[in-house]
Amino acid sequence: MLSRLILICLLTITLLVPHTAHALPQQSVSELPVYAYEFRLNTSIDYVVSVSNDLVVVLGSLGGVSVVQFINISDPFKGPQIVFTYPLTGSLTSYAVDGYPVNYLAVGTDLGEVLVFKVMGGRLYGMLHYVQGDTLVVRKLYLLRTPTTTKLITLSVDRLQPSERYVYVYDVNVKRVVKLGPLVGNLTYGLEYITPYDLIPVKVVG
């Protein structure tokens, strides 16, 4: 099945006008022409995420497998170019970015897979790959910046026992995880005998 990815771009053109006695109307000095070009993908598209002026990410499925595709759109004459395609374990359930332009992109699946990609200098780097468990569905995830690092926080639900929910906190640079939930065990840092209900980020301004 072919999908159509249509990119709408704004091109700013500034006209330099010599000084005359009769000034030109303001709208004729600066115009914003719009152009679009179409890109046909074999991927079934769920989401399109703008990463930077040069990159977009397509989240969808290819041949029945959920994938993350990075596409370079820097040259409208050459057309979009697929840079990288990453297959996921399970179906995509959630994604998050850390702002714009994007430095980190995180995705989660219905088989407990969590991935974080770092975007730097037009290139992609895998920063984190963690499988929470194949019975856990990643319902929500957020990327949070701190003065020294970036944290990924996820809320996952056990599909076999929906009343059991877990929160995972990752540091994308240290590769350490903190787990909060009904049963944590002794192999992970965490808090046990609690059941998180929801996950909502709050910004505190001091």
DSSP labels, 140-169: EEEEEE-SS-EEEEEEEEESSSTT-EEEEE
Check residue 11 and give its pLDDT.
43
**pLDDT value of residue 105:** 94
What is the tens place of the pLDDT at every residue in 138-185? 999 999 988 888 999 999 999 999 889 999 999 988 877 888 888 877
**Res 21: pLDDT:** 40
User: For the chain, which residues score pLDDT lower than 50?
Assistant: 10-30
Check: CB of residue 49 under 8 Å from CB of residue 96: no
Structure tokens at 181: 């939930």
> Position 153: which residue type?
I
Contact 60, 45 (CB under 8 A): yes
Q: Nearest to residue 157, comparing CAs of 165, 169, 149?
A: 165
pLDDT of residue 188: 64
Residues 6 or more apart whose CB falls under 8 angstroms from that of 75 comprise 81
- The token duo for 54 is 């040069």
Pairing of strands 113-120, 123-131: antiparallel
Token readout for 178 is: 């903190």
Which amino acid, 160?
Answer: L
Amino acid in the structure at residue 91: S
Alpha carbon distance 92, 117 (integer Å)? 15
Q: What is the pLDDT of residue 205?
A: 64
